[in-house]
Amino acid sequence: MPPISVSLLLTSNDAGRPLGDIAAERLGDAGQQAAVRGGLWMGRRRVAPDTLAVTGETLTVRLPPAGGYCDAPVTLAHIIYEDDDVLVINKPPACYVGDTPWDAQGSVLAVLTRLLAARDGQAPTLHLAHQLDFGTSGILVLSKHPRANAPLHTAFNRGQAQKRYLAVCTGYMPAETELVTGHGRAAGGRWRLYDQSEIGRVLPDGQRVKRAHTRFMLRRQFAQAALVWAIPLTGRTHQIRLHLAALGCPILGDERYGGPTMVAGLHLAHSLLHAAELSLPHPRDGRPLHLFCPPPPVFQRVIGQL
């Protein structure tokens, strides 16, 4: 189920009172938790619970989807590389890397900040160098020092970061194949693919259709599923997921794009997509970093069933 958004009109009786108190008073425990977790908004701005109310304004309280709040299951054992500039972890599946509209406390970024503060005695200034989807596991790079931010973003935005993903998808895959399409949002706001001829076209929201390019290599074929390497040569949102669905081979567990969530009696709560390998220049001196991490246990369980 999607998250819930509740709008509260602030009256003269609310003027000067903390917004967190108002949310708790009107919505009970749900409002109190939303205040603590960072779910209070004025317009497009997240606000602290001690912000004072102004008559006539609207307080938006964003509540979590079914299942409630959940902290990313990250520990210090998930760190696979660290120095003064860079932190790299093997992200678990089924967690958000950054803040969501309803929660600023449970993301990978927030949990890692607390873990490192407890370990080192002071909170680090962490920034995400790139993104991984909620369901995607694997290599996630963060900067630990502001001087690393620009070089890391340049590496990811200009194709200097070479990535390879493992995916378990449905159907039959050729030994090698590539797909080049357009990529952008549909009228409803969801990501979709466009024909190559539409690359560069301006969409109704003002954005242009961008080029999306992925190379696939078969690693193992099963009866009705396949384990594949996916190498994104561009970095569009949901690119690998969309391209495999377009090939008629959606990723197992990827319900949004047509992947089955039940496989041989196993229920999959997320897509089986894993960022397994990454090479990029170090942001300080440019030396190459070659990073590897194994997929989570659910991959082996599913492959064992297949």
The alpha-carbon radius of gyration of the chain (Å, integer) is 21
**Among 113-117, 148-152, 260-264, 286-290, whose mean pLDDT is lowest?**
260-264
Please confirm, yes or no, whether 133 is among the known catalytic residues: yes
How sure is the predictor about 53, in pLDDT bands with cuts at 50, 70 and 90? very high
Q: What is the mean pLDDT of residues 64-84?
A: 94
| 134-156 exposure pattern, b = at least 16 Cβ within 10 A, e = fewer | ebbbbbbbbbbbeebbebbbebb
Q: What is the mean pLDDT of residues 288-301?
A: 95
Domain ranges of the chain: 4-63, 76-157, 162-305
Which pLDDT does position 275 carry in this prediction? Answer: 98
Fold agreement between 76-157 and 162-305: yes
Q: Which CATH number fits domain 76-157: 2.40.30.110, 1.20.1250.20, 3.30.2350.10, 3.10.129.10?
A: 3.30.2350.10
How sure is the predictor about 265, in pLDDT bands with cuts at 50, 70 and 90? confident
Whole-number Å distance between alpha carbons of 113 and 104:
12
With CA atoms as reference, report the closest residue to 141 among 81, 187, 182. 81
Q: What are phi and psi of 203, to 5 degrees?
A: -85, 165
- Using the predicted structure, report yes or no on whether residue 128 has a pLDDT greater than 80: yes
- Is there a contact between 102 and 66 (Cβ–Cβ < 8 Å)? no
Q: Which CATH number fits domain 162-305: 3.40.50.720, 2.40.160.20, 3.40.50.800, 3.30.2350.10?
A: 3.30.2350.10
Which pLDDT does position 106 carry in this prediction? Answer: 97
Q: What SS3 state is found at 39?
A: coil
- 206-262 per-position pLDDT tens digit: 899 999 999 999 999 999 999 999 999 999 999 999 999 999 999 999 999 999 999
List alpha helices for 167-289, DSSP H. 239-246
Which pLDDT does position 1 carry in this prediction? Answer: 64
Which of these is catalytic: 14, 85, 133, 254? 133
**Among 95-109, 126-140, 212-226, 258-272, whose mean pLDDT is lowest?**
258-272
Which pLDDT does position 229 carry in this prediction? Answer: 98
- 29-45 per-position pLDDT tens digit: 999 999 999 999 999 99
Which pLDDT does position 66 carry in this prediction? Answer: 85
Which pLDDT does position 61 carry in this prediction? Answer: 98
Whole-number Å distance between alpha carbons of 19 and 50:
6
Query: In which residue are the tokens 């960072």 written?
Result: 38
Label residue 141 left, alpha or beta by phi (over 0 means left) and psi (-120 to 50 means alpha).
beta
How sure is the predictor about 143, in pLDDT bands with cuts at 50, 70 and 90? very high
Q: What is the mean pLDDT of the chain?
A: 95
- Using the predicted structure, report yes or no on whether residue 187 has a pLDDT greater than 80: no
Q: What is the mean pLDDT of residues 161-188?
A: 95
Top CATH class of 4-63 equals: alpha beta
How sure is the predictor about 271, in pLDDT bands with cuts at 50, 70 and 90? very high
More confident residue, 51 or 305: 51
